[in-house]
């Protein structure tokens, strides 16, 4: 005889575990401590097995029956519902271990020793702010070009076109690392060539006129700031290095 919601709710514990049958091999297992567990008894390949369907009251009577129906459908199709659940759980763990964020952080850690601290910090910031919230939890092998393009266009939409190009560059490096570690088939960022407009580049022309160059040198000599900065300015026209290298 099928159970009622009232029977399930008011079932009192006893000294030993006992079962309340709902029919169709579904039963409620009541433990001495008052805990109530939904279970399905079934046979597969000649073996008697039990499938856990949830804990009452998190899983109510109707939900338990629905889960029983799905499990019995699997049995009809020749699938062991218990083994299917184990495989699904293992697949979920693997998907989480191969998410874009996990692979990205692994890539960043592996190559951080070869990069300047400022570069690592900037890369981390862009990934955390602009990429991980949308792609971070996705298995990297399942990310499609349009998924990445949507992220890049979101960055472009706020007027940060150069950042969008950097994010695309970082994503490409992460995907190539994933390919090398056998967690992705290819670098999908290659499909997005030309998808973003080129950033505007402002060239700062060098002073080539001798008279104007002389004025620059006199301006450096007249600099009234700190001694360290003045030394840097005086060195600059002698060794012609980038500001970062000069510092």
DSSP string spanning 54-85? EEETTS-HHHHHHHHHHHHHHHHTT--HHHHH
Does domain 5-79 match CATH 3.30.160.390? yes
pLDDT tens by residue, 14-46: 999 999 999 999 999 999 999 999 999 999 988
Q: Where are the domains of the chain?
A: 5-79, 100-192, 210-246
Q: What is the pLDDT of residue 240?
A: 84
Instruction: State the Cα–Cα distance between residues 123 and 119, nearest whole angstrom.
Output: 6
**Which residues in the chain come in under a pLDDT of 70?**
201
Instruction: State the Cα–Cα distance between residues 28 and 23, nearest whole angstrom.
Output: 10
Does domain 100-192 match CATH 1.10.1040.10? no
Interhelix angle 161-180/117-126, rounded to 10 degrees, is: 100
Q: Are 151 and 134 in contact (CB under 8 A)?
A: yes
Q: What is the pLDDT of residue 18?
A: 95
φ, ψ dihedrals at 181, nearest 5°: -100, 15
């Amino acid at each position: 005889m099928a159970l009622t919601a009232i029977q399930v709710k008011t079932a009192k514990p006893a000294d030993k575990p006992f079962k309340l049958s709902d029919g169709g091999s579904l039963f409620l297992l009541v433990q001495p401590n008052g805990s109530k567990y939904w279970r399905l008894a079934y046979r597969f390949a000649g073996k008697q097995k039990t499938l856990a369907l949830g804990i009452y009251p998190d899983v109510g009577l109707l939900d338990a029956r629905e889960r029983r129906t799905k499990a019995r459908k699997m049995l009809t199709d020749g699938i062991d519902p218990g083994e299917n659940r184990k495989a699904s759980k293992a697949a979920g763990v693997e998907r989480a271990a191969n998410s874009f964020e996990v692979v990205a952080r692994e890539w960043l850690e592996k190559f951080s020793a070869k990069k300047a601290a400022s570069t690592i910090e900037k890369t981390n910031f862009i990934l955390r702010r602009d990429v991980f919230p949308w792609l971070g939890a996705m298995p990297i092998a399942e990310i499609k070009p349009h998924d990445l393009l949507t992220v890049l266009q979101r960055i472009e939409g706020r007027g940060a076109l150069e950042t969008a190009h950097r994010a695309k560059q970082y994503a490409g490096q992460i995907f190539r690392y994933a390919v090398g570690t056998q967690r992705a088939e290819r670098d999908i960022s290659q499909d997005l060539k030309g998808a973003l407009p080129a950033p505007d580049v402002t060239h700062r022309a060098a002073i080539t006129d001798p008279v104007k160059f002389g004025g620059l040198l006199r301006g450096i000599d007249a600099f009234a700031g700190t001694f360290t900065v003045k030394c840097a300015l005086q060195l600059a026209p002698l060794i012609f290095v980038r500001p970062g290298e000069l510092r």
